[in-house]
Chain A
């Protein structure tokens, strides 16, 4: 505020000397400067630090009451969260702000598909958390999770939040109507392989309730299958290998088969239609990384309570997603931000978050704590056991700079097969062109 006042007087002096032009321009610039500054200073008037947290998807901290708890423990801190549903949109705006150096929150979430881009391309844009003593936390985290956020020269750029051990969520009420078994153990046995899963899908479609499909989209089917693989789009030396990788081919082929057998509700993940479909019963199964549980609860709402259940994933364990919390260089309250993310990613909080929202911990201490967790929303499914086993057996994935972009192009092409009936060969070549266009 004082800055604004001094400038205004100098503007007045300028006008009195007759240089109207200068004054008008100056005043314009000032107006802009004062406007952006004043909103922040009002927060600090009460002696409180307002920490901004910018996230995507469903981290669930607010829903699990963790912010409220932290504010109670630290009366000088207020937390303000903003949230973008689609991670691709979130990443886009984060990159724009990093390039401009403004508008960044104190804490920014980073998805695991982007973490290689952060450590390899943007290590100078994020705080090295070692400065705040993060290196002491290393033993608390799963090794793969920790190393992915560490640069070659040893900078620690993010603290791991959750991981995405995979399972299959399904609607018991729809299964019953279609005459399928609803017991998790029995289903896990029947869909021990992906072929078994597709067969069961065909059985479902024969007697399915109207306007209901077996799976939400082949894009999510592909994503969960590719999560079971160690090497996907890049090899360990950083070479792009997706074109000839048999793992990608097999996930692609199975997804195409599902699309061509008409098992899919043809929805676009993260779209408003997809959101509506959770409550409407448009699909009977949805591939479920642990973080999806919170999303299902949010979209299907109270009416979905007890209708859902979770079983082991066909074809073995895998990991889809998981995130990090980082502090950008340009953040306003770096020290306080580090304290917050350290607390949020500590074992107790990760355990609490899993029990309330389903996000599976990346902290080894927390994994032990939650082994017995059950989720009443999902018919009391033993989520601690299901996701715990999957997390242990999941492969440690090779991460690449453009992982998320390549995945996006491939799922787009699968949607073409699914929704437009494009021939799979043509769609695959479209995906390749898309990848070249993205990376080139």
Chain B
């Protein structure tokens, strides 16, 4: 009744006012809709990213076992302080670093070289550019299983080839250096093409005139690479270094599947931090300790990225001052 009453009281329904009313709705919608569009990500992030992160911090203060998740025993920072005297933690930290260097440095160097070659006018360029991305598209599991076969001690292809040139078989799984090289090689194989494509994209944004000018000055291809390509690629290189550093710190799938051992070999010789966390959590079922390791890894990554950024900023300031 009230509805009809107001309708009567209101001016006759002409198109004008109606569009006015709906345009107000539309305006609010226009203002709010971007939030609605990005909301799914943030909702999912809150549920599957933020909540686990906070919950992990909470769990890391307790003694919790996977077999009896109901009994939580307060430990305060005990899980963290225990890490300082935990030999296995330090081993895995050291391994993470050495495997990180062994995989990241050759990976980025090779990617740079590859990108430089791909930047020339080659026949079937698109095909080659797609092809170098293939290792990246392969699943870690499949790649690692193949590599584990190649690196087999008794029946592996690599030892067979080494045998042809008179090198006695290497126990790729047991030796500390040998096993770390083997694990790194899987990482290098998977990520080189990916980084090469990023470098290639960066190279194509370097103006061609610079190269022409350098060529007029009589600079060789190598000098062009050093004096034109590298400085131009600086931001890209920084980006790939940061991404690879994060990847190396989190390295997990390759060492886990390499031998199927959660302890990273019989004497933890290639156990990374990620793998040690997994061993604590899902091998020994100490969820509290695993959570503490997860947070230490998180802080470590933040620190590494921070240091990276600092170095970059200082260098650019120096260059700006020059």
- By a beta-carbon cutoff of 8 Å, the part of chain A in contact with chain B is 18, 20-21, 24-25, 28, 86, 88-89, 92, 95-96, 98-99, 117, 121-122, 211, 268, 270-273, 276-277, 280, 282, 405, 412-413, 415-416, 419-420, 422, 430, 433-434, 437-440
Contacts and interface: CB of A to CB of B under 8 A. Distances in A.
A420 B174 contact: yes
Interface stretch (B4-12, B124-132, B149-157): B149-157
Nearest to A422: B267
Interface string B66-97: 11110000000000000000111000000000
Contacts of A117: 67
B171 A419 contact: yes
Nearest to A402: B284
Contact of B282 (A92, A405, A434, A440): A92
A98 B69 CA distance: 10
A95 B66 contact: yes
B68 to A, nearest CB: 6
B40 A25 contact: yes
Contacts, number: 85
Interface string B50-61: 000000000000
B43 interface: yes
B117 interface: no
A122 B66 CA distance: 11
Interface in B30-53: 33, 35-36, 39-40, 43-44
Given A24-B40, A92-B282, A95-B282, A121 B267 contact: no
B153 A25 contact: no
A113 B260 CA distance: 21
Interface in B91-149: 148-149
Nearest to B67: A121
Contacts of B174: 419-420
Given A28-B44, A271-B259, A276-B155, A416 B68 contact: no
B284 A437 contact: yes
A21 B69 contact: no
Given A282-B154, A419-B174, A272 B148 contact: yes
A273 B152 contact: yes
B130 to A, nearest CB: 31
Contact of B284 (A21, A122, A277, A438): A438
Contacts of B148: 272
Contact of B36 (A21, A271, A440): A21
Contact of B154 (A270, A273, A422, A430): A273
A131 to B, nearest CB: 23
Given A272-B149, A276-B154, A99 B171 contact: no
Interface in B142-181: 148-149, 152-155, 171, 173-175
B266 A420 contact: yes
Interface string B246-263: 000000000000011011
Nearest to B152: A273
Nearest to A92: B282
A89 B66 CA distance: 15
A96 B284 contact: no
B67 A122 contact: yes
A20 B33 CA distance: 9
A437 B88 contact: yes
Interface of B: 29, 33, 35-36, 39-40, 43-44, 66-69, 86-88, 148-149, 152-155, 171, 173-175, 259-260, 262-263, 266-267, 282-286
Nearest to B284: A438
A92 B283 contact: yes
24 contacts: A21-B35, A21-B36, A21-B39, A24-B39, A92-B262, A98-B67, A99-B69, A121-B67, A122-B68, A268-B259, A271-B259, A272-B149, A272-B152, A273-B153, A405-B284, A412-B263, A416-B266, A416-B267, A419-B174, A419-B266, A420-B266, A430-B267, A434-B263, A438-B284
Contacts of B87: 433
Which one of B69, B148, B285 has the highest number of Cβ atoms from chain A below 10 Å of its Cβ?
B285
A207 B286 CA distance: 49
Contacts of A434: 263
B67 A95 contact: yes
Closest 8 CB pairs of A and B: A415-B266, A419-B174, A21-B36, A21-B39, A20-B36, A121-B67, A412-B266, A438-B284
A277 B40 contact: no
Nearest to A267: B154
Nearest to A274: B154
Contacts of A25: 39-40, 43
Nearest to B285: A95
Nearest to A401: B67
B32 to A, nearest CB: 9
A420 B267 CA distance: 9
A405 to B, nearest CB: 7
A95 B286 CA distance: 12
A431 B175 CA distance: 18
Contacts of A277: 154
A99 B66 contact: yes
Nearest to A117: B67
Contacts of A89: 260
A260 to B, nearest CB: 16
A88 to B, nearest CB: 8
Contact of A96 (B33, B263, B282): B282
A413 B283 CA distance: 17
A96 B66 contact: yes
Contacts of B260: 86, 89, 270-271
A437 B285 CA distance: 11
A139 B36 CA distance: 67
Contact of A280 (B155, B266, B284): B155
Contacts of B66: 95-96, 99
Contacts of A439: 284
Contacts of A99: 66-67, 69
Contacts of A282: 154
A35 to B, nearest CB: 16
Contacts of A21: 35-36, 39-40, 43
A8 to B, nearest CB: 17
A26 to B, nearest CB: 11
A328 to B, nearest CB: 13
A203 to B, nearest CB: 24
